[in-house]
Structure 1
């Protein structure tokens, strides 16, 4: 089943391919004086694009898959959560892990909300991200 879904994603040009997807590398996922500058850089690159985004770590492990309309607003909310917490941990389905020091944010633009929803689920199924929820405590 996974192969059939991956073939469909490839056919529709939505399969994750870091050569085809846009990305910003070496993003520090932490709150400091550079956070506002970093968010402005992300906004400049993404604009008001609607679509799917993927967080990956330095080892290219898929951490999280999400959708946004626009994508930037969702990513900004992830950073905003850092302001409201004292601990920098993510909740994995099995245990708690530290946020990686640097992440890469990949994204592909998908205008239609229904397509975004379906593609997000298909990518989550085929790529099996480390985190099903990206929540900070």
Structure 2
């Protein structure tokens, strides 16, 4: 990777950190719009009380963390990918998959999530590409 790309990615990291630092909750007073969150968390009080001693602040912190995840997913990763690809962007409109292939993909994802399958790219490609059928 070039030094320029490294610097551009570093700037993206700094931008995200600055924004998230500026929005970090200092107290729970900014949490006025989450009364139901607090009520629901009180139902789990016995489970979280050894970890959380301030539920309103925990809700504010959770909201902040959700914002960080959104920022990473919607801008940071996309911007870094753009930098790494030198701005090249492709769409794959001509590539179609069949309904059987779509079902094979969903089954693989489900099995991976449930721990019923270990990742195996070669085997997964076999399962996906051996199936025919009608295009989706």
Larger relative contact order (Cα-Cα within 8 Å, sequence gap ≥ 6): 1
**TM-score of the superposition, structure 2-length normalised?**
0.25
More helix by share: 2
Which is strand-richer, 1 or 2?
1
